[in-house]
Amino acid sequence: MIGVFVALLLMGHVYMIMLAMLCQTIVYREVTALFSLTSHAPDSGEAENKREKDPWSKTLNWYFFAVTNYFLYGESIIYYFKHVIFSDGQLLPFATNHRIISFTLYTIGFVGFVMSLRRGFLKQQFGLFCWVHMSLLLIVVSGHFIVNNILEGMIWFWVPASLVICNDIFAYVWGMTVGRTPLIKLSPKKTVEGFVGAFWSTLLFSVFWGSYFMRFNYMICPVHDLGVSAWSNVQCTPNPVFVWKVWQIWSPLRVFLSRLLGKSVTVIPYAPYQLHLLVFAVFASLVAPFGGFFASGFKRAFNIKDFGHSIPGHGGMTDRMDCQFLMGVFTYVYYSSLIREHHVSVGSILQMIVSGLSVNDQVELVKDLKKYMEGQGIMIV
């Protein structure tokens, strides 16, 4: 699995997005399969035919799944590829009317659900409706944020996902070697020693792992062309968090280190990204595992060992992705709140022009812009 994961990473952003969407789809199928009308007895005294099945159950599951994906990924396409969408006349109606189209599609599903309500299945049908929406919130919306992380730069997906995997491995290693004290009743095999050992191991791993991958433009550059791969010549202005700086060592500490190492030590080079890596490592170690504990409680509630058998020897996809969804959402929120730079781009200006100016105003703008460029000595044919 790790080999396939790395191969898709090298092949490009499109393949990683397809992988994220595939995982999201399988997890959604596994979770919604736990709650279906056909697996419950109809309401007592109301059903005309106890063997009668509701034909809308799975249809509505996947209809709302498709509509939610259309809305969320449409938003991502419009945001990250404004320069393409708003310069192509054929795609312009999609961009300007995307939200009303999405709402209309959802309304059709809602009306279809109400029309499908039948005596004898009402309690189960409304339970299914709530279950589907909860699954969409926890799975599809989380998957959408993970895809956004990929589009912001492969490193914002690859490194946080690696930290969750690293923490899981070290928790197993430390738990098997020195683990004695149970951590939580929902997961009897988890130990306090494994939890603490994995925390410190993940902290150390994060700095070395993230520092290595921040050297590559392919990893740190936001996507502008979905056709690039690890072998493409990707160029961009790096985010300031990836720019190396030096820290002037406090004078007493400088003397101590110089004597300890036998040479003069006055500064320590660092990249701000390394400090952010520590935050990601802390979250991956202390919070993300609770996604796994949540999934364990879920399985206990339904008295099942695994969510499915999508991955031979590992159970279902949900069993492998339970912590990753939580980590992906945190990474996106953290990055967009504290790290992302907000600049005026060609795409954003083009969006304002297309949506805010009349055709005559657009023509006038082109003439004025052409006159300005010619004044700068740039001839436009």
- SS3 string, 37-87, reads HHHCCCCCCCCCCCCCCCCCHHHHHHHHHHHHHHHHHHHHHHHHCHHHHCC
Q: Whole-angstrom Cα distance, residue 178 to residue 200?
A: 15
Residue 54 has pLDDT above 60, yes or no: no
pLDDT grade for 314, boundaries at 50, 70 and 90: low
Task: Work out the number of other CB atoms within 10 angstroms of the CB of residue 157.
Answer: 27
Stretch among 56-65, 123-132, 339-348 having the lowest mean pLDDT: 339-348
To the nearest whole number, what is the mean pLDDT of the chain? 84
Mean pLDDT of 144-152: 94
Question: Nearest-CA neighbor of 289 among 172, 141, 155, 139?
Answer: 172
Give the CA diameter of the chain: 89
Q: Is 264 helix (H, G, I), strand (E, B) or coil?
A: coil
pLDDT value of residue 37: 54
What's the CA angle centered on 105, arms 351 and 113, to 5 degrees? 155
Residue 344 has pLDDT above 70, yes or no: no
pLDDT value of residue 39: 46
Exposed/middle/buried for residue 173 (C-beta within 10 Å: 0-12, 13-18, 19+): middle
pLDDT value of residue 50: 45
Question: Nearest-CA neighbor of 331 among 151, 137, 149, 168?
Answer: 149
Contacts of 296 (CB under 8 A, 6+ apart): 186, 187
Stretch among 4-8, 56-60, 176-180 having the lowest mean pLDDT: 56-60
pLDDT grade for 53, boundaries at 50, 70 and 90: low
pLDDT digits (tens, 9 = 90+) for 170-197: 999 999 998 888 888 777 788 899 999 9
pLDDT grade for 347, boundaries at 50, 70 and 90: low
pLDDT value of residue 307: 76
Query: How far is residue 117 from each of residues 46, 47, 55, 100, measured CA to CA in Å?
Result: 13, 12, 11, 26
Residue 206 has pLDDT above 90, yes or no: yes
Residue 350 has pLDDT above 80, yes or no: no
Residue 330 has pLDDT above 70, yes or no: yes
